[in-house]
Amino acid sequence: MKVFKFGGASVKDANAVKNVGRILNLFPNEDIIVVISAMGKVTNALERLTDAFFYKKENAADVLNEIKQYHFDIVDQLFSNKQHPIYDELNNTFVELEWAIEDDPTHSYNHEYDQIVSMGELISTKIVSAYLNEANIKNQWLDARGIIQTDNTYREGRVDWELTQKLSENLSQQKGITITQGFIGGTSENFTTTLGREGSDYTAAILAFTTNSESVTIWKDVPGVLNADPKWFDETKKLEQISYQDAIELAYYGATVIHPKTIKPLQNKKIPLYVKSFIDPNEKGTVINEIQSPLPIPCFIFKVNQVLISISPKDFSFIIEENLSDIFNLFAEKQVKVNVMQNSAISFSVSVDNDERKLPDLIKTLQKDYRVLYNDNLELITIRYYDQATIERVTIDKKILLEVKSRNTVQLVVKNA
């Protein structure tokens, strides 16, 4: 068994969907689980729909119509037969969604979010599966919620590995092509959960693990994993091979090519992960596997819009264990992720994303017991396999406010000088 994952960009319009068919045709007679995300930016649109439903931010019916229109445009281009059952199937799905948002919310925001936002993947897989069957690429559609079981931590479902393993038994024996959804799972009470934004990679890794697949391939609009995001860097280089350990570190520090939770299950079973271009499927791409050697060149990860918060006891005493546990608890409770931290005798500093929904509340709470200074509009630069010359090169015209070094990685919080 192989697992393929196609993200939103690889199914963003009719041509992209056709290209999925071309790629699958390169692997005749193979057993493949194909994990697919919502089309294009549909997950963002469904988030808007959830907000419209829950907070009445905008007219929910309008947002739903946009989403409907986008999908039917694609379907119209893919199917010449306007009587094709996919039309009824999609109409029914959208009617269900309409009903779901007609009444007032009955569950928590996160719970409602998952029931609505998961529709993106259900719809995209229905369309792709029907199109491929029509194009003679025979496949089975599979509801991932019947396999991937999670607890009820909505929006960040935690996988029940034992149960998921059990439910994967048939799937491991499945012949030919199986089309299923990324990003979503099911609870013991039959509610839908999601695995966190960009979670489809993780789905691919979970299914590869439970079915003992030989490999996972993530098909992307880039030639492989690059040593920096081309959005921030002019001269990027493709990495041929990356160790699991380096991949975990890069994803952890915020490289967006691969979802951070993806690597560990693959590493445990030594399943290689290929990142390849869906535009040039015959090019080699990048492989993440068991090699031990460090990367040959420095890798850069940029995070913009950072806030550096410096926290110290009001009575000028030292920062000690009780303060730290208190502070960490608050960050966990307010769900603010620490990107880098540094401790000194009288203060504790962290850099975090400037999330307007979470940060003001956190700072207000901290201020009850601590003196809190913060500095916004900063950048966090992480360099894996740094040397002094590289540090100097990326910090030209910048002022370094915080620097944390380990043997292989340096993190710099900087501000334009």
State the binding partner of 182 from Mg ion, ligand ASP, none, CB within 5 to 8 A by kind: ligand ASP
State the binding partner of 120 from ligand ASP, Mg ion, none, CB within 5 to 8 A by kind: ligand ASP
Residue among 79, 183, 219, 348 that touches ligand ASP (CB under 6 A): 183
Q: Give the nearest distance from C-beta 283 to Mg ion in angstroms.
A: 23
HSE-up of 43 (CA within 13 Å, CB side)? 23
> Do the Cβ atoms of 351 and 413 come closer than 8 Å?
yes
CA angle centred on 106, ends 105 and 108, rounded to 5°: 85
193 binds ligand ASP (CB under 6 A): no
40 binds Mg ion (CB under 5 A): no
**CA pseudo-torsion sign 8, 14, 19, 22:** positive
Positions in 209-248 near Mg ion (CB under 5 A) = none
d(CA 7, CA 37): 5
Q: Give the nearest distance from C-beta 349 to Mg ion in angstroms.
A: 33
The one-letter amino acid at 143: D
The neighbour count for residue 355, using CB atoms within 10 Å, is 15
Residue among 2, 4, 7, 379 that touches ligand ASP (CB under 6 A): 7
Alpha carbon 229 to chain centroid distance? 16
**Of 202, 203, 75, nearest in space to 127 by CA:** 75
User: Quick one: tokens of 395?
Assistant: 């910090």
d(CA 394, CA 417): 13
Among residues 41 and 111, whose Cβ is nearest to Mg ion?
41
124 binds Mg ion (CB under 5 A): no
User: Quick one: tokens of 16?
Assistant: 């992209």
43 binds ligand ASP (CB under 6 A): yes
HSE-up of 106 (CA within 13 Å, CB side)? 5
Among residues 184 and 359, whose Cβ is nearest to ligand ASP?
184
Q: Give the nearest distance from C-beta 199 to ligand ASP in angstroms.
A: 5
**CA pseudo-torsion sign 234, 238, 244, 246:** negative
d(CA 205, CA 261): 9
3-state secondary structure of 113: helix
203 binds Mg ion (CB under 5 A): no
User: Quick one: tokens of 99?
Assistant: 């009903």
State the binding partner of 197 from ligand ASP, Mg ion, none, CB within 5 to 8 A by kind: ligand ASP
Among residues 8 and 224, whose Cβ is nearest to Mg ion?
8
The phi-psi region of residue 118 (left if phi > 0; otherwise alpha if psi is between -120 and 50; otherwise beta) is: alpha
Residue among 4, 78, 118, 120 that touches ligand ASP (CB under 6 A): 120
- Give 224's DSSP letter: S
Q: Give the nearest distance from C-beta 272 to Mg ion in angstroms.
A: 23
How many residues touch ligand ASP (CB under 6 A)? 12
Contacts with 320 (C-beta within 8 Å, 6 or more apart), sequence order: none
d(CA 410, CA 387): 9
37 binds Mg ion (CB under 5 A): yes
8 binds Mg ion (CB under 5 A): yes
Q: Which residues pair with 154 in a beta bridge?
A: none
Write the binding mask 68 to 107 for ligand ASP: x where contact by CB under 6 A, - elsewhere. ----------------------------------------
Q: Give the nearest distance from C-beta 37 to ligand ASP in angstroms.
A: 3
Please report where in the chains the tokens 């603010």 appear, as a residue: 336
State the binding partner of 199 from Mg ion, ligand ASP, none, CB within 5 to 8 A by kind: ligand ASP
Among residues 43 and 178, whose Cβ is nearest to ligand ASP?
43
Among residues 198 and 379, whose Cβ is nearest to ligand ASP?
198
State the binding partner of 211 from Mg ion, ligand ASP, none, CB within 5 to 8 A by kind: none
Which residue's Cβ lies closest to ligand ASP? 200
Q: Give the nearest distance from C-beta 22 to ligand ASP in angstroms.
A: 21
8 binds ligand ASP (CB under 6 A): yes
> Do the Cβ atoms of 159 and 100 come closer than 8 Å?
no
How many residues touch Mg ion (CB under 5 A)? 2
d(CA 99, CA 114): 16
Among residues 37 and 203, whose Cβ is nearest to Mg ion?
37
Write the binding mask 140 to 179 for ligand ASP: x where contact by CB under 6 A, - elsewhere. ----------------------------------------
Instruction: Map 134-150 to HEC letters.
Output: HCCCCEEEECHHHCCEE
**Interacting residue ranges for Mg ion, rule: CB under 5 A:** 8, 37
**Interacting residue ranges for ligand ASP, rule: CB under 6 A:** 7-8, 37-38, 43, 120, 182-183, 197-200
